[in-house]
Structures are given as structure tokens and as C-alpha cells.
């Protein structure tokens, strides 16, 4: 195990797994509670258009991809609200259009673009110091946003109408959450790629949601699942010749499958041997 | 007694469609006013107009002495309980957590809420749910969930309480128990309550006055008078028979 840390590329990869795992698990908590899973897939596929555009015009594809990802997330929220169209419909349109735009641009490429393949399928082993700084900056910004407005974001996820009636700036906070989601997707693309990134922002929260009836525990479990998947997948790919993006997602999927199997068993045991009994009262 | 809500020829248009027009009624302080009307009549929009969540284009609407354009300023004095389908039933919150969401307002952004626990427990106690404050909300029965949501709308000690179909989806005993609780709160706390419901019998029994709308105003007044009025049939576009004997009301549908 210690041989992993002997290589500087693995040290950077492990640090990237820690940063992105923490970032995705935190956002995943809100993605599940606000039912935005499909938006994650939509943002990542739209980002392909931005990445391809960056490569064509000679601008950093991470920058153009980030603009596309954040822009898609916020536009989806805005259009669905002002146009009274369901978010699913808007995402479906962006998803296909962004992907088509990316494919059209890629078809014009002449030669080999290693950056494109790294972003399509992820390449955590080639993460640079600059990439790590970008991930750390994104994590810092998103954590500050979440910590400052956690109660309000939770209230919006639970009952937006009530939050609005209470006078909270619901649209502003929701747009902030979507922007954070867009940024998270783009940062995470470097870890697992465009194709697989949705799993990273859906599975940790989904597994935790199945396991807990308390949001505090759900958040901790989401972090535990996300970090286990990120580190577990990365370490697995070190010993076996499988791309790390794929192993990270497979470990996460395995955790979710175990949760799906064990949860009903746990529920049955809990009903048979209740630890806490309800006291009487109004029913 | 003063009027906490006064609407005169109120008109609301949403997305180019007239949702409410020429609505005139008033709700006296300490009264329970029932809002009735068929599906799509604009009942929820009327509540949202009172909350200042939809703009009033025509007429006048005054809420606790403030015109509708400035209702935002007095929102902490208005409690609101939306319809049940507006939230996720399996959300991982305890009863106390749900009530705590009712304390959030622009004034609490980036600030600590004073006496938060005390306020939550007082609200839960007022609806008889203090013993289940740490219980997962998703494990409560429908009637208990409604009580917790009522506690959430009471946690800021409002003067005016707006309830949008609180009995929807509840069985008969739970409905009865909830209506009794409302009566108790009205008498004990002196709350002014606006209640939207499809259950004409129970709302008529509980209300001091009924307001019947179907996009426009059809009739308002004493519950017994409204239920006997042909305007009720007009509003619902069907014919009701309300037989009143020894104070009990029965209904048959033609």
C-alpha cells in the first residue's frame, strides 16, 4: 500500500480524489434532496460542447467547459421557472443540444487531441498542480456557500413554496445551488470524465438517502460513500489495469447495490426489535 | 373587530390568464373564514395574493393594515401551510427540523435565531406534538404530519394563519381531530384563520363565514346562508341539496 504514495502522480491523484470526493458528496446531498439527478447528466454532456469549443478556438477547455456547465445549470433553472416548463424537459433539450454541438465541433478536428479523450473518459493520474489548485478553489467556494446558507438550502429542498412564503430569496439561492452543481460537474470531469461524472454526484447522496432518516447523518454518510468510492476506485485501478474513472464509478455502484440489498433487511430487523418505542399522543 | 384582510374588486392575472376578478370580502380578526370553490377556482392563488407571492393587478387588497404591495414587510406575522403535495414525504427531517424551517426569513440570513429550541417546542406543544419532536417526519401518520406542518406555520407566532386544504388526504378521524385543533387555536390564541377546503360540510361547521369563488366572487356570508344559496350551485356548476335539521347538515348530490 505504501508504494502508492511513493509516486508523485499518485500523491496528486489521491489528493484529487479527496477534493473531488468531498465536493461531489456535498453537492450530491442536495442533488438527491432536490431531485436534480438528471440535471447532473445533462450538465456534463453539455459541457462537452464547451470543452470542444475551447479546443477549437485555442482557449483552455476547462474554462470553456466550466462556462458551459455553470451556464447550462443556471439556464435550466431560469428557463424552467419563467417558461413554466419542467426541468426534465429543459435538461433533455440542453443535454442533446450541447452534446450535438460538441460532436459537430469534434468532427472538424484534424489530428489527435489527448486533452479531449482525457476529459471524455477522465484521467486522474495526469492531474497537475494547477488542476489541484482549481479543485481546491472550487471546493472552498462551494463549501463557503453551503456552510453560509445550509439551513436555507435545506428548507428550499424540503418545501420551496413554504420557504418563499417565509420571504427567503428562493430563486437566488436555487440559482446559487445550480451554479455550484455546474462547477462541481466540471471539476469532477477531470476525475471520471464527461460520460461517468453523473454517477459521482448522484450515488453518494442516493445511498445515504436510503440509509438515513436524519439529514445530518445523511450528509456524513454521503461523504463517507463518496470518499470510499473515490479512494477505493483509484487504489483498485493502481493494482489492476482498469481506467480509474471506471473503477471509481463501479465501486460507488457496488456500494449502492449493497445498500439496496441490506436496507430492507435492516428495516425488517428494526421493526422486529425496535430500539425506541413511541410514546402515546395525538394521532 | 378590525378586518385583518380586506379585498375589494381584487383581480389577479397570471401569464395572461385572468385567475381572479372582482373578489370582494373581508376577514375579521379572530374569525375563521372558509374559502370554497371548485378545482381551478383560484383559491390557492387568493392565498398567494394575501401572502404577496402573486401581484394584484386590479382592485385593492389590504392585509393586517398593509397594502398588498408591502405584504413582504409583515410576512413574519402571517403563517402559511401549503398543500401537502408541495413537499417530499420521505425527506430526512425530524418533526423539530420541519418546524425550524418555519423560522427562516430574510432577517435570519447569516444570523443566529434567538430562542430557537424554545420556539420550536412551544409550537409543537400547541399542536400536541411535543412528544414526537425528535421523531422522523416521514414515520408520522398523515394526521401527525399535518399537525407538525401546522406547528411550522405557527412557530413565528403569527396573527393571521392561511391553510390550503389541510385536510386533503386525511381519513375522517384525522380530519375531525385537525378541525378541533384549529377551533382550539382560534379560541385560545385568538388567531385569525383563512381555510381553503373542498370539504363543504366540515368547513361550514368550523367557519364564521364562507367565501365562495370560482374565478369571480359568487357569494360570501354566514355558512348556513351560503350553503342554501343558489350561488353555490352556480359556482360549482352542479346542484347541491343541503338539508338542515336540528343543526346537522347532510348533503346529497344530483
Using the predicted structure, report yes or no on whether residue A90 has a pLDDT greater than 80: yes
Question: Which among A152, A163, A167 is the nearest to B72, CB-wise?
Answer: A167
Q: What is the pLDDT of residue A277?
A: 61
Q: Do A282 and B144 touch (CB under 8 A)?
A: yes
| Total domains, chain A | 1
* Lowest-pLDDT range of A143-152, B25-34, B165-174, B242-251: B242-251
CA–CA min distance A262, chain B (Å)? 19
Which value does ipTM take for this structure?
Answer: 0.89
Asked, for residue A281, whether it belongs to a domain, the answer is no
Asked, for residue A106, whether it belongs to a domain, the answer is yes
Contacts with B, A 222-261, CB within 8 Å: none
Give the chain A residue whose CA is nearest to the CA of B134.
Answer: A214
Q: What is the pLDDT of residue A1?
A: 65
Asked, for residue A251, whether it belongs to a domain, the answer is yes
Which pLDDT band, with edges at 50, 70 and 90, does B242 fall under?
low
Q: What percent of chain A has pLDDT over 90?
A: 69
CA angle A115/A121/A126 to nearest 5° reads: 55
Question: Which among B51, B104, B177 is the nearest to A155, CB-wise?
Answer: B104
Q: Which residue has the higher pLDDT, A110 or B96?
A: B96
Smallest CA-to-CA distance from B215 within B195, B237, B240, B235 is with B235
Which pLDDT band, with edges at 50, 70 and 90, does A83 fall under?
confident
Which pLDDT band, with edges at 50, 70 and 90, does A194 fall under?
confident
Q: Which residue has the higher pLDDT, B46 or A273?
A: B46
CA distance B250 to B254: 13
Copy the grid coordinates of residue A165.
Answer: 412564503
* Lowest-pLDDT range of A110-124, B15-29, B75-89, B110-124: A110-124
Asked, for residue A214, whether it belongs to a domain, the answer is yes
pLDDT in tens, B32-83: 999 999 999 999 999 999 999 999 999 999 999 999 999 988 998 999 999 8
Asked, for residue A223, whether it belongs to a domain, the answer is yes
Q: Which residue has the higher pLDDT, B251 or A18?
A: A18
Q: Do B86 and A163 touch (CB under 8 A)?
A: no
Q: What is the pLDDT of residue B246?
A: 37
Neighbouring-strand partners of residue B25: B7
> What's the rounded mean pLDDT across residues A212-238?
96
Question: Does residue A37 belong to the interface with chain B, where contact is any CB pair within 8 Å?
Answer: no
Q: What percent of chain A has pLDDT over 70?
A: 96
Using the predicted structure, report yes or no on whether residue B247 has a pLDDT greater than 50: no
Indicate the angle between helix axes A37-57 and A8-33, nearest 10 degrees. 130
Q: What is the pLDDT of residue B249?
A: 45
Q: Taking the model in full, what pTM does it have? A: 0.91
Asked, for residue A282, whether it belongs to a domain, the answer is no
pLDDT in tens, A2-48: 788 899 999 999 999 999 999 999 999 999 999 999 998 899 999 99
Interface of B with A (CB under 8 A): 15, 51, 53, 72, 75-76, 78, 80, 82, 86-88, 91-94, 97-98, 100-102, 104-106, 109-110, 127-129, 131-132, 135-136, 138-139, 141, 143-144, 147, 152, 174, 177
How do the domains of chain B map onto residue ranges?
Answer: 3-92+156-253
Asked, for residue A280, whether it belongs to a domain, the answer is no
Smallest CA-to-CA distance from B183 within B174, B193, B173 is with B193
CA–CA min distance A29, chain B (Å)? 11
Which pLDDT band, with edges at 50, 70 and 90, does A226 fall under?
very high
Chain B interface disruption, residue of A158, A217, A218, most B CBs within 10 A: A158
pLDDT in tens, A231-257: 999 999 999 989 999 999 999 999 999
Beta carbons of A244 and A232 less than 8 angstroms apart: no
Using the predicted structure, report yes or no on whether residue B123 has a pLDDT greater than 80: yes
> What's the rounded mean pLDDT across residues B221-244?
83
CB neighbour list of residue A11: distance below 8 Å, 6 or more residues apart: A5
> What's the rounded mean pLDDT across residues A149-153?
97
Q: What is the pLDDT of residue A273?
A: 78
Q: Which residue has the higher pLDDT, B239 or A279?
A: B239
What CATH architecture is B3-92+156-253?
3-Layer(aba) Sandwich (3.40)
> What's the rounded mean pLDDT across residues A160-165?
92
Using the predicted structure, report yes or no on whether residue B248 has a pLDDT greater than 70: no
Indicate the angle between helix axes B172-189 and B142-154, nearest 10 degrees. 20
Smallest CA-to-CA distance from B39 within B188, B236, B179, B205 is with B236
Question: Does residue A283 belong to the interface with chain B, where contact is any CB pair within 8 Å?
Answer: yes
Beta carbons of A190 and A51 less than 8 angstroms apart: no
Which pLDDT band, with edges at 50, 70 and 90, does A120 fall under?
confident
Give the chain B residue whose CA is nearest to the CA of A146.
Answer: B110
Residue A116's domain spans which residues?
Answer: 2-272
CA distance A26 to A150: 11
* Lowest-pLDDT range of A67-71, A216-220, B239-243: B239-243
> What's the rounded mean pLDDT across residues A158-175?
94
Q: What is the pLDDT of residue A87?
A: 85
Amino acid at each position: 500500500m505504501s508504494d502508492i504514495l511513493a509516486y508523485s502522480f499518485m500523491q496528486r491523484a489521491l489528493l484529487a480524489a479527496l477534493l473531488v470526493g468531498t465536493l461531489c458528496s456535498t453537492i450530491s446531498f442536495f442533488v438527491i434532496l432536490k431531485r436534480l439527478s438528471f440535471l447532473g447528466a445533462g450538465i456534463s454532456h453539455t459541457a462537452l460542447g464547451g470543452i470542444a469549443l475551447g479546443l477549437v478556438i485555442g482557449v483552455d477547455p476547462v474554462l470553456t467547459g466550466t462556462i458551459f456547465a455553470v451556464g447550462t445549470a443556471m439556464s435550466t433553472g431560469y428557463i424552467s421557472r419563467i417558461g413554466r416548463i419542467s426541468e426534465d424537459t429543459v435538461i433533455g433539450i440542453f443535454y442533446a443540444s450541447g452534446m450535438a454541438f460538441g460532436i459537430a465541433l469534434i468532427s472538424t478536428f484534424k489530428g489527435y487531441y489527448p486533452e479531449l479523450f482525457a476529459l471524455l473518459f477522465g484521467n486522474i493520474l495526469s492531474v497537475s498542480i494547477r488542476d489541484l489548485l482549481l479543485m481546491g478553489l472550487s471546493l472552498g467556494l462551494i463549501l463557503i456557500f453551503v456552510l453560509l446558507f445550509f439551513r436555507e438550502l435545506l428548507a428550499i429542498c424540503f418545501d420551496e413554496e413554504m420557504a418563499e412564503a417565509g420571504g427567503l430569496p428562493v430563486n437566488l439561492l436555487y440559482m446559487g445551488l445550480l451554479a455550484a452543481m455546474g462547477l462541481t460537474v466540471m471539476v469532477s470531469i477531470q476525475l471520471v470524465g464527461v460520460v461517468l461524472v453523473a454517477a459521482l454526484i448522484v450515488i453518494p447522496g442516493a445511498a445515504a438517502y436510503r440509509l438515513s432518516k436524519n439529514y445530518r447523518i445523511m450528509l456524513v454518510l454521503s461523504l463517507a460513500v463518496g470518499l470510499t468510492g473515490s479512494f477505493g476506485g483509484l487504489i483498485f485501478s493502481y493494482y489492476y489495469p482498469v481506467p480509474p474513472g471506471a473503477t471509481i464509478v463501479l465501486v460507488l455502484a457496488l456500494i449502492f447495490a449493497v445498500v439496496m440489498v441490506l436496507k430492507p433487511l435492516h428495516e425488517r430487523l428494526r421493526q422486529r426489535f425496535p430500539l425506541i418505542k413511541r410514546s402515546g399522543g395525538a394521532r | 373587530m378590525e378586518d385583518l384582510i380586506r379585498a375589494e374588486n381584487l383581480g389577479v392575472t397570471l401569464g395572461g390568464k385572468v385567475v381572479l376578478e372582482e373578489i370582494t370580502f373581508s376577514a375579521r380578526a379572530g374569525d375563521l373564514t372558509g374559502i370554497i370553490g371548485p378545482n381551478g377556482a383560484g383559491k390557492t392563488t387568493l392565498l398567494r395574493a394575501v401572502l404577496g407571492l402573486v401581484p394584484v393587478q386590479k382592485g385593492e387588497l389590504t392585509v393586517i393594515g398593509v397594502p398588498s404591495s408591502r405584504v413582504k414587510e409583515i410576512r413574519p406575522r402571517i403563517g402559511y401551510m401549503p398543500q401537502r403535495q408541495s413537499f417530499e414525504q420521505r425527506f430526512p427531517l425530524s418533526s423539530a427540523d420541519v418546524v425550524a424551517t418555519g423560522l427562516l426569513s430574510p432577517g435570519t440570513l447569516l444570523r443566529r435565531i434567538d430562542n430557537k429550541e424554545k420556539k420550536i417546542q412551544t409550537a409543537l406543544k400547541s399542536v400536541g406534538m411535543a412528544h414526537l419532536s425528535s421523531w422522523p417526519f416521514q414515520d408520522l401518520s398523515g394526521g401527525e404530519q399535518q399537525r407538525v406542518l401546522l406547528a411550522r406555520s405557527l412557530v413565528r407566532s403569527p396573527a393571521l394563519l392561511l391553510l390550503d386544504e389541510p385536510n386533503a388526504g386525511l381519513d375522517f378521524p384525522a380530519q375531525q381531530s385537525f378541525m378541533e385543533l384549529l377551533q382550539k387555536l382560534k379560541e385560545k390564541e385568538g388567531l385569525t384563520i383563512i381555510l381553503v377546503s373542498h370539504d363543504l360540510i366540515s368547513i361550514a361547521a368550523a367557519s364564521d363565514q364562507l367565501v365562495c369563488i370560482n374565478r369571480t366572487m359568487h357569494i360570501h356570508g354566514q355558512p348556513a346562508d351560503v350553503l342554501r344559496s343558489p350561488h353555490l350551485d352556480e359556482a360549482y356548476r352542479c346542484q347541491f341539496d343541503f338539508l338542515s335539521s336540528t343543526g346537522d347538515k347532510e348533503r346529497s348530490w344530483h
